[in-house]
Amino acid sequence: MALSRSCLARMLTSLTFLLAALVSTSHAARLTAAFQQSFDSASNSVVIRAELMHRDHPDSPLAPAEGTTLAQRWEAAVNRSDNQIAARGRRLAYFQTPVKRIGGFSGEYIMSIAFGTPPQRFVGLVDTGSDLVWVQCVKCPGCTNFVQPDPFYDPTISSSDEYIGCSDKQCFEFESPPLCSTTKTCRIDYGYVDGSFVSGTLTTETITLSNTAGANPVASGFVMGCMNNNSETGFDNYDGIIGFGRGTFSLPSQFSTIAYLRVFSYCLVPFAATTTQTSSMLFGTSDPANALGLVYTPLLDIGTTNYYVNMTGISLNGEALDILPSAFQYIKSTDSGGVIFDSGNAVTRFAPEVYNALRQAVSNLTQYREVNQSNLDKYCFNITGVQTPMYPKVTLHFGGMDGSSVVDFDLGDENSFGPYSGDEGVSCLAFRKSGSEESSIGGLQQANHYIETDVEKMRMGWVTKDCTV
């Protein structure tokens, strides 16, 4: 059975002091003083600094073959994004609900994580489109076809593993009515829109994160999935999935409740640097002084998983494009449209009306000859012999916190344009057309921005930042 309510309360109190004692107040060398001020100036603040590793990094179990060029990696990232576009987020239905296969899942970042006492370390794929954190466990007859970098999680050698009973609150929160095993533990079946699935047992464990600032922070009572029956495809070369959505059981949501870390932020290095550097991720509390000068937009209360925001328009070189505001809005009656931030998807996808307007405007302002004209979903042009290409400046606009102001998300050339693997002398617009009315701001566009998500105040903020230093 799960821990009692009184025991959990005592554990949460001790956890706060444990985290404060374990987490160093000094920064990793590559983090600037501004990062420290942003998180540490608040009284009694606690900070965990972890690393996000891009799948193309040489130390990643998902790394491409040696010798793969930047252009080939960029094209592969776009293709991975293509495979996800038929639906938003990895997990949209439980296993017993029919789900349509739309191609294999592929996130962009991995993260080191450990469960158990003593810690058993794993590599998890970060997924902003789902809410469950799970790893594959021993006695997994349905996992024999997978290649993963670490041994399966073994609850029998952990002194902190506690199975959740099917009558416990967490089991009802996951699914109602709950699923029960023969031993009255909480069974879960978790299906994904690409047709893959996992099933196993819901449990609580001690979680340990690798902390780049010093001692590794430890938290108890973390709800995780111990999975022992998975689909035949979709989970090779990593140990599990780290759900980063807004739902109850995601990593940020649980840190918010059991460790009082209400804010998480990250600074993604640009795509060209992902094979040599990792990106910073921080969990902590917000800075009332806003030392970094972040601008904020509200997080919209839509659904339970994705991070919806109020996008209002796009400008090129300071001139607003003629796009109706309705093109960015979520339509509740049809459960369609809207704009989300999704670092797990490489490329920004715009609804057709928005993409077509952006493509035409870029074409009007670009002096280079268009190539690949038959592909209406990809806009590319020839820059052969051009040492310093001149690109139009793209700015995304969002509604401010007061409901009337507008805040800007400025994009650099590396955010807006990228190489084409078929020809080194060709550059392409780093935006694609969505397969629906929904739009998503992908990781390529988020790079070189310090982005903060405040789940308590329901807001997202950002500032342009060189994430390589």
Classify burial at 215, counting beta carbons within 10 Å of its beta carbon; exposed 0-12, middle 13-18, buried 19 or more: exposed
Encoded tokens for 295: 């601008």
Separation CA 199–CA 74 (nearest Å):
34
Distances (CA, A) of 152 to 44, 98, 239, 414: 37, 28, 8, 39
Separation CA 24–CA 213 (nearest Å):
6
What is the C-alpha end-to-end distance of the chain, expressed in Å? Answer: 47
Q: Residues 40, 56, 127, 168: which is the catalytic one?
A: 127
The amino acid sitting at 89 is: G
CB of 190 closer than 8 Å to CB of 199: yes
DSSP string, 186-210: EEEEEE-TTS-EEEEEEEEEEEEE-
Could you count the other beta carbons within 10 Å of the beta carbon of residue 363? 13
Q: How many CA atoms lie within 13 A of 52 on its CB side?
A: 29
Tell me if residue 342 is catalytic. Answer: yes
The amino acid sitting at 467 is: C
Encoded tokens for 113: 């994580």
DSSP 235: -
The H-assigned helical ranges of 131-245 are: 169-174
Tell me if residue 377 is catalytic. Answer: no
The amino acid sitting at 368 is: Y
Distances (CA, A) of 92 to 165, 193, 205: 24, 6, 25
Separation CA 434–CA 418 (nearest Å):
18
Q: Residues 56, 131, 161, 342: which is the catalytic one?
A: 342
DSSP string, 59-72: TSTTPPPTT--HHH
State phi, psi for 68 to the nearest 5 degrees: -65, 130
Encoded tokens for 49: 């600094």
- If phi over 0 gives left and psi between -120 and 50 gives alpha, with beta otherwise, what is residue 156? alpha
How much of the chain is helix, strand and coil, in % rounded to 5? 20, 35, 50
The H-assigned helical ranges of 320-394 are: 352-365
Beta-strand ranges (E) seen in 342-389 are: 348-350, 370-371, 380-382
Which residues are catalytically annotated?
Answer: 127, 342
